[in-house]
Amino acid sequence: MSEAVLNFQTIGRSSKGHARASGYERAAHDWYCEPPRAVDALLDAEQFIGEVLDPACGGGNIVQRCLARGIEAHGSDLVDRANGAFPILDFFDIAEPVDNIISNPPYNVAEQFVLHALRLATRKVAVLVRSAFTEGQGRLARLYTPHPPVQIWQFASRISMPPGGTAIEAKGGSVAFCWVVWDTRSRGGRTEYGWLP
């Protein structure tokens, strides 16, 4: 058995003693790396006019994919994960408006993250979240009823998002993910639902 496989099995249990669906420990600050294809799928489906901010940018995948398409993009994060390439900022301390926010937010604060993003963005907010984020009576009352998204883009295939800063290879994903998109200029209306490959 290889050392990588052995290490994976050794750390593949949560501190509570049962295996996580992903097979690895929960990452500090919920840092999981979205694959470039997940960002490209969003950018193929949605138009973002103006600048984009990813306030939980990790290594910068979202920023890099936007820049590759000629979209002005910036990133920041709570922790330096890209050797000084992005400023270290707590998103909840940011008060300046921005055109668009695209992010893979820390799941443990995703709802608060979206609510703050909706206060800052003058155009669109798009977050990559577990599909289960679209469920829940409490979230319906706190988020989706007062702020209905304009679009939910469900991935038809599972995407792999391994913990950042590890050597764990992205393989077949075990969790369903989707992009949830809000247009802050829109007040109410129906939420459209579509699929991404």
Supply the CATH number for residue 159's domain.
3.40.50.150
What is the domain count for the chain? 1
Residue 153 lies in a domain: yes
pTM equals 0.80
pLDDT (0 to 100) of residue 82: 61
Residue 59 lies in a domain: yes
pLDDT, averaged across the chain: 82
CB neighbour list of residue 194: distance below 8 Å, 6 or more residues apart: 45, 151, 152, 153, 154
Range of 161's domain?
Answer: 27-196
Q: Categorize the per-residue pLDDT at 18 as very low, low, confident or very high, splitting at 50, 70 and 90.
A: very low
Residue 3 lies in a domain: no
Q: Is the predicted pLDDT of residue 20 greater than 60, yes or no?
A: no
Residue 55 lies in a domain: yes
Residue 14 lies in a domain: no
Cβ burial of 80 (10 Å; 0-12, 13-18, 19+) is: exposed
Residue 71 lies in a domain: yes
Q: Is the predicted pLDDT of residue 193 greater than 90, yes or no?
A: yes
Q: Is the predicted pLDDT of residue 180 greater than 90, yes or no?
A: yes
